[in-house]
C-alpha cells in the first residue's frame, strides 16, 4: 500500500482540510441517493429488489427480503465454536458497557414546580450491517446489543446479500446470538429508504444506525427528518499519534488494519520523529493496496499533535508514548481514544466493550459513538405546585412576545387556585 510523508502546516484547520480532500465527500453521491430513495418510496419492494439485483447479486434474481427465522437459528447452530465464543464475549462486554449508560428518571424541584426528567426507548430500530469486501458480524453485536440494552422491543438487522442471494452465514448467526428480532436481505441506500418509509415487506422503524459506505451514510442523512439516525458512520478513519522510539510494527499493523476497510478509508500516523515515519512507510508499502489513503505526518511538537487531533476529529485516535498519552484528558473530538501501545483499534472493533459504530469524516466534533442514547428519547414531566408565583411572573413575558392567550392561560390557574 502506498504512503506519503508530509509536514503538518502551521494552521491545523488547513492541514485537516487538505487531508479530508483526499477522499470523496458525501455530496458526490447525494443526487444518486435521492433518486434511489424516491424510487423506493414510489415502488416499495419492487424497487428494493431491483437495486439488490443490480448492486449486490450481480444480476441473479434476489431472494425474498425477509430472512426466515429458522434460517437465522440454523446459521447460529453452524457457527464454528471459536467464532461463537468470540461473539459471546463481545456481546457480554458491549452489553455491560451499554447498560452502564442507561439513566433512571430523576426529579428536580424548581421554584413553584416539579420537573421530572424521564427517558424511554423507541419502539423499533434497525442496524445496518455493511457487506462488500467482508462480512461484519461484529457490527451486528455493536448495534443490536446496544439497542436491546436501551430497552428497544423490536431490533432488526439488514445486510446486503452476496451473489448467491444470501447474507453471510456468520452475520446471520450473530443476529441470532445477539437476539435480533428480524433480518432483511438488503443493503445500500435502498435499504435505508425501505427502513425509513416502509414497504409491503419492510416495516418502518424509528431509528436506523450502523456504518456503511458514502451511499448508505448519505441516505441516512437524507431520511433523518423521517427517522432517527446515529451519526455519519463511514468510511473509516484513524489517526495515530506516536512518540519517537515507539515500536513501528504494531503501529503499521494498526494502520493496515483500518485500511482493510478499503476505498474512502483514511489512515494517518503523526510523530515528531522523521525516523519513525520512514520506518512506518517501509512497513506499510510492503502490504497490498486496499484502496485506502495513507499519510504520515511530521510534527514539530506535542502542542501541534494536540491541535491536529482536535481539528481532525478522528473516528479512531491512538496515543502511543508516555508524553503523548498525557494528552488523553484534553482530547475531546475523537470517536474513540485508544491509550497506550497495547490498545490497538482492533480491540475496540471487536471485543473491548467500546462501540465500533463511530462518527467519521470529522463529525466527532459534534457526534458521538453509538450508545443507548441513540435509542432513547428524553422528555420531561411537569407538575406545578404554585401557579400564582409562576403565572404572575411569566405573564408579562408572554405579553412582551405578543401572546395574550399564553398570559391568560397561566393567569387562569391563579383564579382556579384562589381560596373560596
**CATH T-level fold of 4-23+235-354:** Rossmann fold (3.40.50)
Mapping DSSP to helix (H, G, I), strand (E, B) and coil, where does residue 210 land? coil
* Mean of per-residue pLDDT scores for the chain: 96
The pLDDT tens digits of the residues spanning 123-139 come to: 999 999 998 778 999 99
What is the average pLDDT across 229-242?
94
Grid cell 428480524 is found at: 182
C-alpha distances (whole Å) from 263 to each of 22, 49, 409 are: 11, 25, 59
pLDDT reading at 274 higher than 50: yes
The pLDDT tens digits of the residues spanning 322-361 come to: 999 999 999 999 999 999 999 999 999 999 999 999 999 9
CA atoms lying within 13 Å on the CB side of residue 12: 16
Query: Alpha-carbon distance 333 to 309, whole Å?
Result: 8
From the DSSP assignment, how many helices (H) and strands (E) are in the chain? 17, 14
Any idea which architecture 35-101+121-231 has in CATH? 3-Layer(aba) Sandwich (3.40)
Contact between 3 and 285 under an 8 Å Cβ cutoff? The reply is: yes
pLDDT reading at 121 higher than 70: yes
Q: Give residue limits of the domains in the chain.
A: 4-23+235-354, 35-101+121-231, 386-416
What is the average pLDDT across 255-273?
96
Nearest alpha carbon to residue 254 among 235, 245, 241? 241
Show which residues are catalytic: 315-316
Query: Which three cell numbers, joined as nine digits, stand for 40?
Result: 423506493
Domain 4-23+235-354 identical in fold to domain 35-101+121-231 = yes
* Banded model confidence at residue 416, pLDDT cuts 50, 70, 90: low
What is the average pLDDT across 183-190?
98
* Banded model confidence at residue 418, pLDDT cuts 50, 70, 90: low
Amino acid at each position: 500500500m502506498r504512503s506519503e510523508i508530509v509536514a503538518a502546516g502551521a494552521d491545523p484547520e488547513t492541514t485537516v482540510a487538505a487531508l479530508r480532500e483526499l477522499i470523496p465527500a458525501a455530496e458526490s453521491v447525494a443526487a444518486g441517493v435521492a433518486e434511489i430513495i424516491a424510487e423506493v418510496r414510489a415502488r416499495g419492494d419492487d424497487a428494493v429488489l431491483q437495486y439488490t439485483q443490480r448492486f449486490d447479486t450481480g444480476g441473479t434474481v434476489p431472494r425474498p427480503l425477509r430472512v426466515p427465522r429458522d434460517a437465522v437459528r440454523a446459521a447460529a447452530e453452524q457457527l464454528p465454536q471459536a467464532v461463537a465464543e468470540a461473539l459471546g464475549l463481545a456481546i457480554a462486554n458491549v452489553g455491560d458497557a451499554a447498560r452502564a449508560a442507561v439513566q433512571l428518571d430523576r426529579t428536580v424541584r424548581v421554584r413553584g414546580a416539579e420537573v421530572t426528567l424521564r427517558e424511554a426507548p423507541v419502539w423499533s430500530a434497525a442496524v445496518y450491517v455493511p457487506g462488500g469486501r467482508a462480512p461484519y458480524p461484529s457490527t451486528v453485536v455493536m448495534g443490536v446489543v446496544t439497542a436491546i440494552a436501551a430497552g428497544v422491543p423490536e431490533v432488526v438487522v439488514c445486510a446486503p446479500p452476496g451473489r448467491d442471494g444470501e447474507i453471510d452465514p456468520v452475520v446471520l448467526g450473530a443476529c441470532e446470538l445477539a437476539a435480533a428480532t428480524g433480518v432483511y436481505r438488503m443493503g445500500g441506500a435502498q435499504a435505508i429508504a425501505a427502513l425509513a418509509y416502509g414497504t409491503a415487506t419492510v416495516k418502518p422503524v424509528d431509528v436506523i444506525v450502523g456504518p456503511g459506505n458514502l451511499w448508505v451514510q448519505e441516505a441516512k442523512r437524507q431520511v433523518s427528518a423521517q427517522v432517527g439516525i446515529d451519526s455519519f458512520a463511514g468510511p473509516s478513519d484513524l489517526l495515530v499519534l506516536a512518540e519517537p522510539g515507539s515500536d513501528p510494527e504494531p503501529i503499521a499493523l494498526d494502520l493496515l488494519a483500518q485500511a482493510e476497510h478499503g476505498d474512502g478509508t483514511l489512515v494517518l500516523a503523526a510523530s515528531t520523529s522523521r525516523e519513525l515515519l520512514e520506518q512506518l512507510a517501509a512497513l506499510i508499502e510492503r502490504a497490498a493496496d486496499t484502496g485506502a489513503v495513507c499519510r504520515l505526518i511530521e510534527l514539530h511538537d506535542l502542542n501541534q499533535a494536540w491541535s491536529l487531533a482536535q481539528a481532525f476529529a478522528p473516528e479512531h485516535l491512538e496515543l502511543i508514548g508516555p508524553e503523548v498519552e498525557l494528552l488523553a484528558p484534553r482530547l475531546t473530538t475523537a470517536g474513540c481514544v485508544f491509550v497506550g501501545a497495547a490498545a490497538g483499534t482492533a480491540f475496540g472493533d471487536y471485543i473491548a466493550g467500546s462501540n465500533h459504530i463511530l462518527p467519521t469524516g470529522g463529525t466527532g466534533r459534534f457526534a458521538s459513538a453509538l450508545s443507548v442514547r441513540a435509542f432513547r428519547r428524553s422528555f420531561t414531566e411537569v407538575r406545578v405546585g404554585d401557579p400564582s408565583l409562576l403565572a404572575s411572573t411569566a405573564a408579562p413575558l408572554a405579553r412582551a412576545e405578543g401572546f395574550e392567550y399564553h398570559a391568560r392561560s397561566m393567569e387562569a390557574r391563579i383564579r382556579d387556585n384562589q381560596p373560596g
